[in-house]
Amino acid sequence: MALVPSPSWLDTGDNAWQLAAGTFVALQSIPGLTVLYGGIVKKKWAINSAFMSIYAFASVLVVWVLFDYKMAFGDPWLTIAGQTFLGMPGLGTSAAYTLSQATIPAAAAGMPPMAFPMSTLMYFQFVFAAITVIILAGSVLGRMSFAAWMIFCPVWMTLVYTVGAFSIWGGGWLSALGVADFSGGYVIHLAAASSGFVAAAVVGPRLQADRDQFPPNSLLITLVGAGILWLGWNGFNGGDPYFANADAGAAVLNTNTATAVALLIWTLLDKMAYGKPSVLGAVNGMIAGLVAITPAAGYVNGIGAIIIGVCAGIIPWLSMNKFQKLNFMKKVDDVLCVFSTHGVAALTGGLLTGILADPDMLVYIGTDKEAPGISYTGGMAQLILQAEGALFIIVYNVIMTFIILKVISFIVPLRMDDATLKVGDDAVHGETAYAIGTEGE
């Protein structure tokens, strides 16, 4: 009998693209956000902030393969009032399972059979899960105890992220309603921002001295992380058709177009408002553009991408520079303004998806009998669905994150003590980011 390298259902091009796309997304976290966080914070918090990212990445992968993947993308399990919210927990580790043809049981009827193995799909979805909690970390840098973070990451992933992922992507109730989220505007960014804002409020603020003066210790390192984040988004949005098809290419182009426009608009607003174009402002504009196009990337045409970019440059800018500077908003110490750059940007893009979705942007091309294939049609009905989906993600994340943190607070302190906060990395980890002025000089 002749040996063959792979089963007949496996398309090597699709498999290669999904693995590459997953690796691009992984690079957004390790090293992308790791060095962005390490560079954008005050020098004494560089190690702690970077390590929060690395720890989250590792801890999420372990629970992902043990039970979380099947909770997010497995067989339907938790049904309430006829609506399914969660998949059946279970191991995703056997040879038979990881080498089998990939499928999302509750969503399989709405897409062609996947042409790569379950192991590829599990890894691809893992990197999305990991970056969600890493984005959330941006709200609590510089004061959350590492012990609390160690508990929070796997618990939040299991009890919060899986519900949103299954509801929208895993064939759950929001998917059945028709809520559109191409690559995670709601599942990832709105969820991270909602939970991050609650975490910032519950954990408490940084020392007042750090809130008053928190200069980046290395803008160049921050820009390295930002660049990796931008280019990594090609995998973020380009991988979500699950095939190396035309829509993947369109999603990549739309992603970069919207991001470029948002960066330019944000920079212009900074210049008009403050007299100088800001590098940090450009990074925030870049992030807002990437986030806003994410729910729409493969559903809108080029003009739609430009419109989303313009809105992403204006609305999150107003949120960060005006709304989050109001006295009642300043009571919550959201360090990197995740509320604006991820939450407001995701909501903006998600709602605009309902308005701008172009039915000619086909995710999957149909046969002659099934033409025109699978697409979304914008309009008021879709806009209402988008608003309903956003409301569920916000409410569920707020409530569950509050409960999780309150329970953790009975086990370990959520916030470092003031003496540790004054010292920073050396007190927490016994390490510092820079050896200048020591024996390592």
In a domain, 105, yes or no: no
pLDDT, position 372: 74
What's the length of the chain?
A: 441
Predicted model pTM: 0.95
Number of neighbours of residue 194 by Cβ within 10 angstroms: 30
Is residue 194 included in any domain, yes or no? yes
φ, ψ for residue 77, nearest 5 deg: -135, -65
Say how many C-beta atoms besides its own lie within 10 A of residue 258's C-beta: 33
- Give me the amino acid identity at 137: A
Calpha distance 367→373 (Å, rounded): 7
Tell me if 297 is assigned to some domain. Answer: yes
Residue 241 lies in a domain: yes
- What is residue 87's predicted lDDT score, i.e. its pLDDT? 95
Q: Give the model's pLDDT for residue 1.
A: 76
Q: Is residue 109 part of a domain?
A: no
CATH code for the domain in which residue 208 is found: 1.10.3430.10
The pLDDT assigned to 326 comes to 95
For residue 276, the model assigns a pLDDT of 96
Residues in contact with 77: Cβ distance below 8 Å, sequence separation at least 6, in sequence order: 71, 84, 86, 87, 88, 89
Q: Tell me the pLDDT of the chain (441 aa) as tens digits.
A: 789 899 999 999 999 999 999 999 999 999 999 999 999 999 999 999 999 999 999 999 999 999 999 999 999 998 888 889 999 999 999 999 999 999 999 999 889 999 999 999 999 999 999 999 999 999 999 999 999 999 999 999 999 999 999 999 999 999 999 999 999 999 999 999 999 999 999 999 999 999 999 999 999 999 999 999 999 999 999 999 999 999 999 999 999 999 999 999 999 999 999 999 999 999 999 999 999 999 999 999 999 999 999 999 999 999 999 999 999 999 999 999 999 999 999 999 999 999 999 999 988 988 777 667 778 887 899 999 999 999 999 999 999 999 999 999 999 999 999 999 999 999 999 999 997 655 444
Annotate 31-57 with b (16+ C-beta within 10 A) or e (fewer). bbbbbbbbbbbbbbbbbbbbbbbebbb
pLDDT for res 441: 40
The predicted-structure confidence for 336-346, as pLDDT tens digits, reads as follows 999 999 999 99
Structural domain contains residue 382: yes
What range does the domain containing 220 cover?
13-75+115-429
- pLDDT on residue 366: 84
* Distance in Å from the first CA to the final CA of the chain: 64
Query: Is position 360 within any domain?
Result: yes
What single-letter amino acid sits at 20? Answer: A
**Gap between the Cα atoms of 278 and 280, Å rounded:** 5
pLDDT score for 43: 96
For residue 292, being part of any structural domain is answered with yes
CB-based contacts of 411-417 (< 8 A; 24+ apart in sequence): 411/151, 412/145, 412/147, 412/148, 412/151, 413/145, 413/147, 413/148, 414/144, 414/145, 414/148, 414/202, 414/203, 414/204, 415/143, 415/144, 415/145, 415/148, 415/203, 415/204, 416/143, 416/144, 416/145
Total domains in the chain come to 1
- In the three-class reduction of DSSP (H, G, I as helix; E, B as strand; rest coil), residue 64 is classed as helix
- Coil vs helix vs strand at 101: strand
What confidence score (pLDDT) does residue 438 get?
A: 52
Chain Cα centroid distance, residue 25 = 10
Whether the bond between 372 and the residue before it is cis, its omega within 30 degrees of 0, is yes
pLDDT tens, 235-268?
A: 999 999 999 999 999 999 999 999 999 999 999 9
